[in-house]
Structures are given as structure tokens and as C-alpha cells.
A and B are shown apart, each in its own frame.
Chain A
Amino acid sequence: MAEEDARRVDAMFHALADRTRRDILRRVLAGEHSVSALAVAYDMSFAAVQKHVAVLEKAGLLTKRRNGREQLASGDVAAVRSVASMLAELEQVWRGRIGRIDALIASDPEQKD
């Protein structure tokens, strides 16, 4: 995998590792939201929500545009379903299987370390 793709996938996982960010992403995939409207929905400061939006933007999962004094965020459906993200998702399936094989062989009797 090219370094750039690897970085993108890492950024995507980092972005999606946080519950608030996943929630923000769900909202903006459903339609454009202003950052201030998003901030109202969470029990945190505007700056904190803005930071979450920035992380999602950096991972390429949402795009922002300015409209006067407002920042409007919308989710990038294609990015969420990009090949990179799909392979990353499959990678997680595989990591799960490999982890289970590891657990299975670790539970073998007479395991010699």
C-alpha cells in the first residue's frame, strides 16, 4: 500500500475512533449542517466540536464551506465508501479472525512457550 494511502486510512480510523465524531459524521452525511448548529447538539464547547470537525475534514470524511459567518459541513459519502476505507474495513474483519486464531491456539493444552 502506498504511504499516502496508509496515512489516509490511519487518519480515517483515527477520525472514526471517537463516538462524537462518528455522530457528527452521521449528521453531516444526512445533510449539510453549520458547525454552530452541530455544537448545540453536544455537551461540549464550540471549540471542541470545531476540533472534531477539523479531524473529520483532515481524514477526508467531510468538507467545509463558508457561507458568510457560518461554516457549513457536509459528509463525503464517496470517501466513507471509498475503496481505501472498504479495504480498511475488511482489514478489521481479518484482524478479528487472526486475533481469534491466536486466542484459539493459546488455549491449546500443553502449550510450550
Chain B
Amino acid sequence: MPVTDVKHDLDALTLTITADFAAPVERIWQVYADPRQLEKIWGPASYPATVVDHDLTPGGRVTYYMTGPEGDKHAGYWLVGEVDEPRSFAFQDGFADLDFNPVPDLPLSANVYTFTAHDGGTRATYVSTYASAEALQQVLDMGVVEGATSSLNQIDDLIAA
């Protein structure tokens, strides 16, 4: 696993993950700039993503939906902020209905992705900030989980029951 560092800031509700990839910055940028590649990496195998609109420019929108194991669909959108190709981009990630209208009651997360040349490869820094603990919970309740965490979801279902 190329993850080199993880920071959880419980007060700022921020998750910062650093990863080193064995490919140049431009190659990692492509993963996000090409919707076909983005959908390959955004959702886990059990929740594959389909990217519909894709405009990775300031003020642009990226829309996607994820299809769950029961055929359930979960849509989301990015509102793209600052873009400094191929070094960094910022976006708000939010939930949408299946027509890609933003769901106003659901929280947005603020994200900044940064890619720098490092040791012949790329060091990627992913920073995601959530507005509140409730916002965090809603993000997780949307079913964007995999592997080890689906067990936690079963526990959640039980709490909700």
C-alpha cells in the first residue's frame, strides 16, 4: 500500500492522507482528468462508480453515481474550485438525487488534492474536511464503504433498527 501517512483531526473533522505513487505527477492527474479512469478508482468493487458529467475546471461540475450490490444507486457531484493542473485541485463533494440535483439537506465536504514530484514518483496529499459530526455520519451512511468497514455498517443497521 502506498499510503505513507494518515492524520485524523477530530476537532477540525479533517482527514489528511498522504500516498506515494510510482508514476509522474501528470499520470496521477490523468486519473482525475479522465472520467473513465476516475470511475475505476472512485468506488469500490461492490459500489462501482459511473461518471456522467466531467468538467475539471474552476466552477465546473463532475457528477457520478455509484451502484450498490442491491442495484441501489447513490448519486453525488463535485463543485470544482481552484484548479492548478497538474498540481492540485479543490472541490466540494456533495450528494445529489438521481437527476443530479444537489440534495440541499445533505452536507458537503471540502476537499483539496495536491500532487507533487517526490522520489521519482508522485506524492499525493488528500485533505477532506467535514462540516460536522453529523455530516460525517451522513457521508458514511450513504454506503460508500468497503471491506473491513461493511461490518461496521451492519452494526449501524442494527442501531438504526
Partner of A16 from B9, B40, B128, B152 at Cβ < 8 Å = B152
User: Which residue of B is nearest A105, CB measured?
Assistant: B23
CB of B154 within 8 A of CB of A97, answer no
CA distance A9 to B133 in the complex (A): 17
Given A86-B137, A87-B8, A98-B19, A22–B144 Cβ distance below 8 Å? Answer: no
CB neighbours (8 Å) of B139 from chain A are 90
The answer to whether A97 and B155 touch across the interface, beta carbons within 8 angstroms, is: no
Does B145 have its Cβ within 8 Å of any Cβ on chain A?
yes
Asked if A30 lies at the interface with its beta carbon under 8 angstroms from chain B, I say yes
Inter-chain contacts of A17 with B (CB < 8 A): 148
Q: Taking each of B1, B124, B152, which has the highest tally of chain A beta carbons within 10 Å of its own beta carbon?
A: B152
B77 CB-CB contact with A under 8 Å: no
A13 near B148: Cβ-Cβ < 8 Å: yes
Which residues between 66 and 113 of chain A lie within 8 Å of chain B, taking CB atoms?
77, 80-81, 83-102, 104-106, 108, 113
Complex contact A26–B155 (CB within 8 A): yes
**Total interface residues in chain B, CB < 8 Å:** 44
Number of chain A interface residues as a range: 35 or more
A89 to B153, CA, bound (A): 10
Q: Taking the complex as formed, is B126 at the interface, i.e. its CB lies under 8 A from any CB of chain A?
A: yes
Looking at chain A's contact residues, is the secondary structure mostly helix, strand, loop, or mixed?
Answer: helix
Determine how close the nearest CB of chain A comes to the CB of B40; give it in whole angstroms: 6
| Per-position binary interface string of chain B over residues 2-41, scored 1 when its CB falls under 8 Å from any chain A CB and 0 otherwise | 1100111110010101010111000110010000010011
Which residues from A are CB-within-8-Å of B126? 94, 98
Q: Is the CB of B152 within 8 A of A1?
A: no
Contact of B133 among A83, A94, A96 (CB under 8 A): A83
B2 touching A87 by the CB < 8 A rule? Answer: no
Q: Please name the residue on chain A nearest to B19 by beta carbon.
A: A98
Q: Do A94 and B17 touch across chains, with their CB atoms under 8 A apart?
A: yes
Pairs A-B, 3 closest by C-beta atoms: A100-B41, A1-B8, A87-B8
Given contacts A83-B133, A83-B136, A102-B1, 12 further A-B contacts (CB under 8 A): A1-B8, A22-B155, A84-B8, A89-B145, A89-B152, A93-B44, A93-B146, A95-B17, A99-B1, A101-B31, A102-B2, A105-B28
Pull 17 A–B residue pairs with CB atoms less than 8 Å apart, ordered by A: A5-B10, A9-B8, A22-B155, A25-B155, A83-B10, A86-B136, A89-B149, A90-B140, A94-B17, A96-B146, A98-B3, A98-B17, A98-B19, A98-B124, A101-B21, A105-B22, A105-B28
